[in-house]
């Protein structure tokens, strides 16, 4: 059975926007949608970013809320439920101010607290993802699937890491498993990472994977005996009508 491909992009800023546009174009040519991880903030140039994200949603890409304050490392890692809910309320309001709405959340860091998961459910979120799992918050179904990316390091070992990225992607799709690729805007100014990404995506498509997003109806995923099966992911991202 063919596997599935999910490609997400974080770190979308005015500085990285040109690379993000190029990535979207390359994936459009391959029929691969993007899941855009958005952190609402008042950064200079944010209007151009939100305008582009809205355009991408119209074209079929998805939006996941990726925290509230990018300056706070692992900002939801230790919060109790009531504090997490207050932060989620502020984040969703800020997101709606840009004309976007979503009920999907991507952890801004390695993990979130149990209180945050509770707050996500109370606040109406349907999908949660982090570096190792994707969770349906309404049915509490859990899919274990590692997020594959390049990390922030460069320099020594960069070529080996890129090769390992491509090989890992090929192994997963040939076994019919879910391939999750997580990119950062900063990755897109490194030609070697560009090449590795496109090699991984092209290999996946040659193996017959179905490309999807985190917030649209997802194809069935067959996992290894260590994992789980997720048959669908609730729809979540949409535009907000603005006056």
Give residue 97's domain range.
4-239
Contacts of 79 (CB under 8 A, 6+ apart): 87, 112, 113, 115, 116, 119
Say if CB 93 and CB 128 are below 8 A apart.
no
Helix %, strand %, coil % of the chain (to 5): 35, 20, 45
Report d(CA 6, CA 10) in Å as an integer.
Answer: 13
Contacts of 202 (CB under 8 A, 6+ apart): 30
Considering only the C-alpha atoms of the chain, give the largest distance between any 2 of them, rounded to a whole number of Å.
51
What pLDDT is attached to residue 153?
66
Ranges of the chain with pLDDT below 50: 44, 218-243
What pLDDT is attached to residue 2?
65
Q: What's the domain count of the chain?
A: 1
What pLDDT is attached to residue 45?
56
What pLDDT is attached to residue 236?
42
7, containing H or E segment? strand 4-10
What pLDDT is attached to residue 154?
62
Here the CATH number for the domain that contains residue 128 is 3.20.20.370
pTM, to two decimals: 0.88
């Amino acid at each position: 059975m063919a596997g599935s491909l999910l490609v997400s992009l974080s770190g979308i800023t005015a500085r990285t926007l040109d690379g993000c546009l190029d990535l979207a174009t390359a994936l459009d040519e391959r029929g691969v949608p993007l899941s855009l991880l958005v952190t609402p903030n008042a950064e200079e140039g944010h209007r151009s970013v939100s305008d582009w994200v809205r355009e991408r949603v119209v074209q079929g890409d998805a939006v996941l809320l990726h925290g509230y304050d990018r300056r706070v490392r692992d900002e939801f890692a230790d919060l109790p439920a009531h504090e997490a809910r207050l932060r989620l309320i502020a984040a969703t309001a800020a997101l709606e101010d840009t004309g976007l709405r979503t009920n999907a959340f991507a952890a801004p860091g390695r993990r979130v607290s149990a209180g945050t998961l509770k707050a996500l459910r109370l606040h109406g979120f349907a999908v949660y993802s982090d570096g190792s799992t994707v969770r349906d918050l309404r049915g509490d179904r859990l899919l274990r699937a590692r997020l594959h990316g390049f990390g922030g390091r460069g320099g020594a070992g960069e070529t080996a890491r890129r090769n390992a990225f491509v090989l890992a992607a090929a192994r997963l799709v040939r076994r019919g498993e879910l391939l999750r690729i997580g990119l950062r805007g900063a990755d897109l100014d490194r030609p070697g990472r560009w090449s590795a990404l496109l090699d991984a995506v092209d290999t996946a498509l040659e193996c017959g994977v179905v490309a999807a997003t985190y917030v649209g109806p997802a194809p069935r995923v067959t996992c290894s005996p260590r994992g789980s099966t997720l048959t669908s992911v609730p729809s979540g991202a949409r535009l907000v009508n603005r006056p």
